């Protein structure tokens, strides 16, 4: 029982910083332009666990450009802006 409580406490202690990082990343994303917000929203769910986060953002950005949700001319700067917020998720 004692080890179970210790494990639960450790899990909560480890989870707290992750929530703070997500909150600050979401706050950062709230100040982004529409294209960057779309990229952030598409990439955020898998960003923290991605083996190659840059490739993930590139993949999501390309998909958004192909679907017409993000303009091709604005994709790179929007992805860079979204990336600045996404890095707070790690």
pLDDT tens, position by position, 14-36: 444 444 489 999 999 999 999 99
Report d(CA 48, CA 74) in Å as an integer. Answer: 24
Q: What is the DSSP letter of 51?
A: S
Q: Which helix (H) or strand (E) holds 54?
A: helix 53-67
User: For the whole prediction, is pTM greater than 0.75?
Assistant: yes
**Each residue of 38-65: pLDDT tens digit?**
999 999 999 999 999 999 999 999 999 9
pLDDT band at 4 (very low <50, low <70, confident <90, very high): very low
Question: For tokens 């998720």, what's the residue?
Answer: 89
Compute the 3-state secondary structure of the chain and give helix, strand, coil in percent, each to the nearest 5.
85, 0, 15
- Nearest residue to 20 (alpha-carbon basis) of 83, 87, 89, 86: 89
């Amino acid at each position: 029982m004692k080890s179970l409580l210790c494990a639960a406490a450790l899990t909560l202690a480890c989870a707290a910083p992750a929530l703070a990082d997500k909150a600050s990343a979401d706050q950062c994303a709230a100040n982004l332009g529409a294209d960057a917000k779309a990229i952030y929203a598409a990439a955020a769910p898998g960003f923290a666990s991605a083996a190659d986060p840059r490739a993930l953002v590139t993949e999501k950005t390309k998909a958004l450009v192909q679907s017409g949700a993000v303009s091709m001319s604005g994709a790179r700067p929007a992805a860079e802006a979204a990336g600045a917020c996404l890095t707070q998720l790690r």
